[in-house]
Amino acid sequence: MNETEQIIRTEYSDLMQKSYIDYAMSVIVARALPDVRDGLKPVQRRTLYDMYELGTRYDKPYRKCARIVGDTMGKYHPHGDSSIYGALVVLAQDFKMGIPLVDGHGNFGSIEGDGAAAMRYTEARLQKITQEAYLADLDKDVVDFGPNFDETEKEPLVLPVKVPNLLVNGAEGIAVGMATSIPTHNLGEVIEGVKAYMKNPDINTEQMMKYIPGPDFPTGGIVVNKDELVKIYSTGTGKIKIRGKVEIEQGKGGKDKIIITEIPYTMIGANIGKFLNDVYNLVETRKTTDITDISNQSSKEGIRIVIELKRGADPEKLCNLLYKKTRLEDTFGVNMLAVAEGKPETMGLVPIIRHHVNFQYQLATRKYNTLLTKELEKKEVQEGLIKACDVIDLIIEILRGSRNVKEAKACLVTGDTGNIKFKSEKSRRQAAKLSFTERQASAILEMRLYKLIGLEIEALMKEHEETLKHIAEYEKILGDRGVMAKVIIKELDAIKKAYAMPRKTLIENGKEIVLEEPEMEEMDVVFLMDRFGYARTIDVTTYERNKEAADGENKYVITCKNTDKIGIFTNEGQMHLLKVTDLPYGKFRDKGQPIDNISNYDSSRETVIFVASLEQMKNEKMIFATKTGMLKLVAGEEFHVSKRTTAATKLNDNDQVIRIAFYEEGEHVIMQSQKGMFLRIEADTIPEKKKGAVGVRGIRLGTEDLLEEVHFLLPGESKTVKLKGKDLELNRLKVGNRDTKGVKHT
């Protein structure tokens, strides 16, 4: 072993835990979550800074996105180019951002979910607001810079953003173990909220909401749970209900049209297509017969989805159906999580603004300290030049008598006249009294002769007066927080005047949608479910025509009423209910829908072992058998419940249900264990229990043996099972007693 090498012995689980926590924090802080100060994720910050560095200003020509992405990836963001381009595209989309920060040229995608063109085709540059409110003052040492990934460049750790971008543009991101979802807000309202906080730092959420009444989505729409917003903005979490904006257009001959002009923010992208399909399905499943046509007439001018109605249809009733059964009314899950002081934190409205205002004071302090330092340096030089003009003849004599610049500078700074030739002793004595600073001496030595012209000297004096004014102004700002607040507010007012837009989203307390379901005509249907969990219903006639194929292709085939419910029993002892009306009804060859989507069943951890309709269970008894050999009879009426999921039986630890079947009088139950033990008992010996009971022992199993299968035999019936390649006739097994070991067969 090399002397420099060390083997450190450590617990593997501890090492994995530490490594995972490190990875999680890296994703949270360095990738997925925005910083509360500038409201930007690292990829967005780096992309904007790179565009600033490349000089892609709003008044300069567009640059290829491929160049911007490549430069960002090479200098600051060592991740995939698609993630950088994806972030750049979103920054340019006016239907996703409250205020787009990038001016895109070319195909940057559409509200309907069309993707942007490849980065080699598209071009971009910064928006004017991005330069003025997000990137201004970077040259004034207002934020800290840190090394990039390979320490060849410096990048800002945060951008000097002057508006609360976290609220204005919102945020969406999935980290490890946490996610953020912040809605967009109106720029003008948010600025008023910031001003209100600066005037009264003790402002509460309710008072703040007089200025920021709620979200303002770029797609408009209507927020309908106004009264719940105070709680959402206090805690930073909750659900905002949004509806699309609907207009009723009178058509010819009494045929009205429903025009959707604004959609919920959650519908943008592929969900517009899904909405059209959902409306089509309402017609297909005969939930409504009033719609004759639907068309998407949206364009660059805005959203326009037209639903044409039958003569005499009730548009208001139909709108209620759309709100209830489609995403025309949807919820926006709010989780205002951001990185604050290096840690992820869920914040309400006021804390976000507090962090922003504190950041603004930090920016202003650093900015005016930098400006003050520059003005003090200018003052020093100006005073040196003014003083030099008064003794210019002496300075010329010093310069002519010096052998090099070093000697001349030493004389100007310290009065050292040792090596300089003067015309008179008087000049030497005067020169010895000189005491310019290093900076002043350098400025004098670099001064051009034309600066001695009278007008130039006057200009220098005026410039000096201006410098003194600036110094006084900056010192006043730095010395008084109230003055600094006025300066910040003045800048905010200028941004509001230039860029604020009218509110798009309406906020109100909407009426709860009450949907009067039409009386359904009761009829028999056939429920079909294949082994993959896809279920559907077809009419009885269609089933009879395709009986052989239906029985062969499906695991469960049940005739039931369309008003019935289906119970899905699983090995975990759960029963999941689903309404027959929630299942697709149609053609025999239709695929159906996964039961995961329409019930609480989870195929990743449960297995379906029995399916029956509530009507079937009504007057029946059911036999339950578990892998540890427990048996019980349960009355089917026990499962007539309203809950979507209910415990069908109680299970001991590490037990599972392996068989459920309807009980038939006089039948025998044959239990088969994994180790080849068989026990035949009369079903009548199994006691009837409640669904919440464990049951009784059916077979006494040996160590590490479990029940594998349960068979049922009716009087006179013969059945065989394969056991190690041989047939075993079950009706030849002797009838035994419950709770015995049974007989071994090999």
Would you say 382 and 464 are in contact if contact means Cβ atoms under 8 Å apart?
yes
Which residues, other chains included, contact 664 with Cβ-Cβ below 8 Å and sequence gap of 6+? 683, 712, 714
The pair of structure tokens assigned to 162 is 């002057």
**What torsion, rounded to 10 degrees, do the Cα atoms 427, 431, 432, 436 define?**
170
Instruction: Give helix 42-54 / helix 81-92 axis angle, nearest 10°.
Output: 80
For 491, other C-beta atoms within 10 Å of its C-beta total 18
DSSP label at residue 98: S
Per-residue 3-state assignment (H helix, E strand, C coil) for 658-714: EEEEECCCCCEEEEEECCCEEEEEEHHHCCECCCCCCCEECECCCCCCCEEEEEEEC
Cα–Cα distance between 332 and 317 in angstroms, integer? 24
Cα–Cα distance between 449 and 395 in angstroms, integer? 12
H helix count then E strand count, the chain = 22, 35
Active site residue 543: no
For the CA atoms of the chain, what is the radius of gyration? 40
Q: Among candidates 714, 717, 711, 716, which has minimal Cα distance to 745?
A: 711
Q: How far is the CA of 257 from the CAs of 309, 562, 641, in angstroms?
A: 6, 32, 41
Would you say 538 and 528 are in contact if contact means Cβ atoms under 8 Å apart?
yes
Q: Among candidates 39, 43, 29, which has minimal Cα distance to 155?
A: 43
3-state helix, strand, coil in the chain (%, to 5): 40, 25, 40
Would you say 432 and 410 are in contact if contact means Cβ atoms under 8 Å apart?
no
The pair of structure tokens assigned to 177 is 């173990």
Cα–Cα distance between 689 and 696 in angstroms, integer? 9
Cα–Cα distance between 463 and 618 in angstroms, integer? 98
- Please tell me the total number of residues recorded for the chain in this structure: 746
DSSP label at residue 450: G
The pair of structure tokens assigned to 401 is 């008598």
- Planar angle of CA 50, 51, 57, nearest 5 degrees: 150
The pair of structure tokens assigned to 464 is 């000096």
Q: What is the DSSP pairing of strand 506-507 with strand 222-223?
A: parallel
Catalytic residue among 20, 23, 58, 121: 121
How far from chain centre, in Å, is Cα 60?
Answer: 33
Cα–Cα distance between 517 and 287 in angstroms, integer? 9
The pair of structure tokens assigned to 745 is 């067969």
Q: 112: exposed, middle or buried (C-beta count within 10 Å: 0-12, 13-18, 19+)?
A: middle
The pair of structure tokens assigned to 428 is 């030497």
Read off the amino acid at residue 283. Answer: V
Active-site residue set: 121
